Amino acid sequence: MAFGTIRNVRKVFSAGELISRSREPVVALDDASFDFEQGQLVALLGPSGCGKTTLLRIVAGLISKTSGSVNIGGREVTEPLGDYGFVFQSPSLMPWRSVIDNVLFPMEILKNNNKAARARANELLGLVGLSNFAHARPHQLSGGMQQRVALCRALIHQPKLLLMDEPFGALDELTRLEMNDLLLRIRHETGASVLFVTHSISEAIYLSDKVIVFSRRPARVAKEIQIDLPYPRSQRTRFTPAFTQAERIASEALGVLAPGSEAETGAAS
């Protein structure tokens, strides 16, 4: 059995859960199914509002599903998972705490903030190139640096599963490319499985072993695309025919590109 199995997950927000004033139930996810192996990175790509964040929250056990099943590491998810890290679009660091104390925050919650945790926090900060900023305050860091701190915080308790919700969406293009390479490296070193939500077709392909393309809300899986680009990947990978081919398939699945023949699109044969 795969490490993660998402089967026919459906989510209807109703009555008590509704954030909007209307009393109409909202079908956020219609039918989502896919699997992933330990250590794989799966990118979730789909139009705004199609239910990607909802799905991540269901996988983490933070909200209930209406039907279907989610199994992580051999266990059905029925309550908040103990063993995952979450990275959001904004770093959401605590401004009054130093960088290292932000990274250590989950260990405080877990009542495990010991010497070994501090050593690991320093190691992670080294891995993301922030050793010299351990005692800085978040406001002294750039957006990209803050997001690196958030990544360390998500990894401090060595989770087997990392959930990332458009983590680099607010960054400038150059920083985003750097963060992509950093994530590939970290993932290689930690062996964590990653579910990575993004709006960017090229980011999805560059990072992942598999891209799940969702339809408009209520979301269904429109296409599952295996990404067989070799590792280690580098920015040059983006300019290979295999990359362009994957971009074309994803663009067609998203509906931003009308299906066409190889000849029409001028793709290399």
Ligand X SMILES: Nc1ncnc2c1ncn2[C@@H]1O[C@H](COP(=O)(O)OP(=O)(O)OP(=O)(O)O)[C@@H](O)[C@H]1O
Q: Which residues bind ligand X (CB under 6 A)?
A: 13, 17-20, 26, 28, 46, 48-54, 217
Taking the complex as a whole, the smallest distance from the CB of residue 23 to ligand X amounts, in Å, to: 11
Contacts with Mg ion, residue ranges (CB under 5 A) = 53
The item of ligand X, Mg ion, none sharing an interface with residue 51, based on CB under 5 to 8 Å by kind, is: ligand X
The item of ligand X, Mg ion, none sharing an interface with residue 18, based on CB under 5 to 8 Å by kind, is: ligand X
Residue with smaller CB distance to Mg ion, 101 or 166:
166
Taking the complex as a whole, the smallest distance from the CB of residue 28 to ligand X amounts, in Å, to: 3
Q: Where are any strands of DSSP class E within 113-185?
A: 161-165
| 67 touches 235 (CB < 8 A) | no
Alpha carbon distance 28, 11 (integer Å): 6
Taking the complex as a whole, the smallest distance from the CB of residue 18 to ligand X amounts, in Å, to: 4
Q: How far is CA 255 from CA 22, 206, 213, 245, in A?
A: 30, 20, 10, 15
Alpha carbon distance 212, 43 (integer Å): 6
Residue with smaller CB distance to ligand X, 30 or 247:
30
Token couple for 35: 């699997």
Taking the complex as a whole, the smallest distance from the CB of residue 88 to ligand X amounts, in Å, to: 11
The item of ligand X, Mg ion, none sharing an interface with residue 26, based on CB under 5 to 8 Å by kind, is: ligand X
Residue with smaller CB distance to ligand X, 20 or 269:
20
User: Between helices 115-127 and 143-155, what is the axis angle to 10°?
Assistant: 140
Alpha carbon distance 116, 194 (integer Å): 25
The item of ligand X, Mg ion, none sharing an interface with residue 269, based on CB under 5 to 8 Å by kind, is: none
* Strands of the sheet with 4-13, listed across from one edge: 75-76, 67-72, 4-13, 26-36, 219-226, 210-214, 41-45, 193-198, 161-165, 84-87
Residue with smaller CB distance to ligand X, 125 or 212:
212
Residue with smaller CB distance to Mg ion, 166 or 209:
166
The item of Mg ion, ligand X, none sharing an interface with residue 258, based on CB under 5 to 8 Å by kind, is: none
